[in-house]
Each structure stands twice: as C-alpha cells, then as structure tokens.
Amino acid sequence: MIKATYQQYILKFKRPSGTSRGILKTKETWFVLLSDGKNQGVGECGILRGLSIDDRPDYEEKLKWVCQNINLGLVILLQDLLEFPSIQFGLEQAFLSLQSASKFELFPSDFTRGKRSIPINGLVWMGDAKFMKTQVIEKIEAGFSCIKMKIGAIDFETELDLLTSIRKEFSSKDIALRVDANGGFHPQEALEKLKKLSALEIHSIEQPIRQGQFEEMARLCEKTPLPIALDEELIGVFSLTEKKELLQTIQPQYIILKPSFIGGFQGGSEWISLANKQGIGWWVTSALESNVGLNAIAQWTFTLQNTLPQGLGTGGLYTNNFDSPLEVQNGNLHHTISREWDFNLK
C-alpha cells in the first residue's frame, strides 16, 4: 500500500522577474509525497497562475482526491487527470522517485552520472533596454552560445535596436538568438515584424500571435521568413487527435514542450512522436519549477538525445530553492555528483 500526501511551497524570486503577464515576486508550487513503508517518492506539480490550463479553483481539491486514491495506480490516475497536466507530471515523477534506488535519479544516464551535460539557452528577462542589454552581456560572458530574449515589454523598435546592437557585436555563428513574443503581436502586423527580425538572423520566434488563432498562425507559418515555434498554443490540447489536427493545420517549424503544461513525460512523448512524423523540430523547456521539477525535466530531456539547446535554466532564480546537483557551466546544465540534495519543505 502506498500512502500519499501533498504540500504547497512558495518559491521566492531573488529579484522580481518580468514576464508578459507582469512582474513575478513569488511562484506557487505543490509537491506530491509518496511512501510505501520503505521508500519515499517526491514529485513537483508546477503550476503558473494565469497561464496553466489547470489553474482552477478545484486544484487543491484534485490533489487531495489523488492522494486519497493513490492506490488506483499511475495509469488510471493519469487518465483521470487529463485536464490537470501539472498533477500528471507530478505523479509521474513521484512514482519514478518511489521506485528509484536514489530518490532524485529518475532516468539513470551519463547525465545523472556526471559524464555528460545538456546545452541550454540563457534566458534574458523583460525590462528596460539597459537591463536587458546587461543580461545579454552576462550570458555571453558566462559561456552561452544560445540566448533567448523575451520581447514585448517595451516598444518593438527599441527591442529591435537592442537586438541589432547585439548582432553588430556577435554574429549568428557566435550566438544563436531566440526571441519569445508570448503572443504579443497583432496578426495584421506580425509578418512585417517577423521580416524585420529575420534580417538579424534570429534562430526562431516563440508564439508570435496569441494562441487559438489557428488560421492566422497557419498563414504566418507558411509565409514566415524565420522559424516559428509554438508554445502556449499546445496548452489545453489533450487528445492525440487534437494534437495531430493542430500540427497538421498550423504546420509550425518548431514546438516547445513544457512538461508541467502538457501532461508530463507521457504528454510530451505524444507531441514529439507527432512532430517527428511531420518533420517539425522541437525542444524542451522548464516552466519556473523548483530544482525538483527541473531535475526531472532535465533527466528526461537527456534521454531524448536532442542536440538543440534546451530551455532548462531556471534553477538560480529563487532564494529558497532546494540545493541540488544541478549546475550551469559554460552554457550547459550539469549534474555534479559531488553536490548533494537538500530537500526540506519546512
């Protein structure tokens, strides 16, 4: 028999972080804790208020139901949790953790053995031009060869000037630049903006227009001068049929997989299988989880053997994150075996 409990935990940002949905000072997350009398398991249910599809009034009630019915088993629980992708992800982690010889080694590999690392992009947060330029320089000096900039906080021309100044100093051979519009462009103006961005040899743009506008997004992906990556567009698309239809309709150049938003490893694997069949590229991104969720995503990502830089660099954002073996060095995420976990929810 397995016993299950859950607990809320509030992560505190080291400095307020700008997103398309305002300034974040704290971030709420939930942990599912399992015990079979001998071993313990832990999984993080990473929810982002205002963005996650399972940001619902009955979220905690669902967590309580899961814990009361934990002995139904993972397969049945995942089916019942289709509309709660972050809880699906937390449960997948918790069951793997319970069965593991080491609580936090979910996918043993050369990554968890400290022999290989994962290339990641350096994330530049929204802010004024000076703040964003400072972050870009910091990321380059820290050894990142791929930088992702969130755009949309200041006016487009100012952001374009900033990107232009970066390109004057660093060519596309030196630095790959990704931008994330978080759906901020109007459909009528999007193509013109993409043309201006393409002149700067941008690697890709995430979600140029708001999700749910299938025809406009399909038209944009057909005519775009630079690759488009779908991000928020994947949120709330639950069935395999819906996923297939979305990719066939829009035909994007890339999709971005956030396990907390799309149903964990199982949901992510479905998207990857469909994307591969259509020749659509992809990479994996964390969604502001603590080191517990980030660790799970990183280990799974390594097994996928995708050579593109992944979006796995959120571990250093919080003052009260958990000490872990995860470490960023020279634009790569490492699992440093000499560093130990300190997971304490008190």
**Under the phi-then-psi rule, with left for phi > 0, alpha for psi from -120 to 50, and beta for the rest, what region is 248?**
alpha
258 in catalytic set: yes
Active site residue 130: no
Q: Which residues contact 61 (CB under 8 A, 6 or more apart)?
A: none
Contact 310, 285 (CB under 8 A): yes
The H-or-E segment that residue 234 falls in is none
Give me the helix-helix angle, 85-99 and 264-278, nearest 10°: 110
List 139, 150, 193, 243, catalytic entry: 150
| CA–CA dist 45, 86 (Å, integer) | 5
> What's the CA gap between 117 and 335, in Å, rounded?
7
Q: Residue 105: which residues within 8 A CB-CB, separation 6 or more?
A: 112, 299
- Is residue 39 helix, strand or coil? coil
> Which residues 6+ apart lie within 8 Å of 241 measured at CB?
none
Q: Name residue 12's amino acid.
A: K
Burial track 231-255 (b if 16+ CB lie within 10 A, e otherwise) = bbbbbbbeeeeebbebbeebebbbb
Catalytic residue among 27, 139, 243, 258: 258
Report d(CA 172, CA 157) in Å as an integer.
Answer: 20
* Side-chain half-sphere CA neighbours of 72 within 13 A: 15
Site of tokens 């307020």: 16
Residues 6+ apart with CB under 8 A from 46: 29, 86, 89, 90, 260, 287, 288, 289, 290, 293
Catalytic residue numbers?
Answer: 150, 258
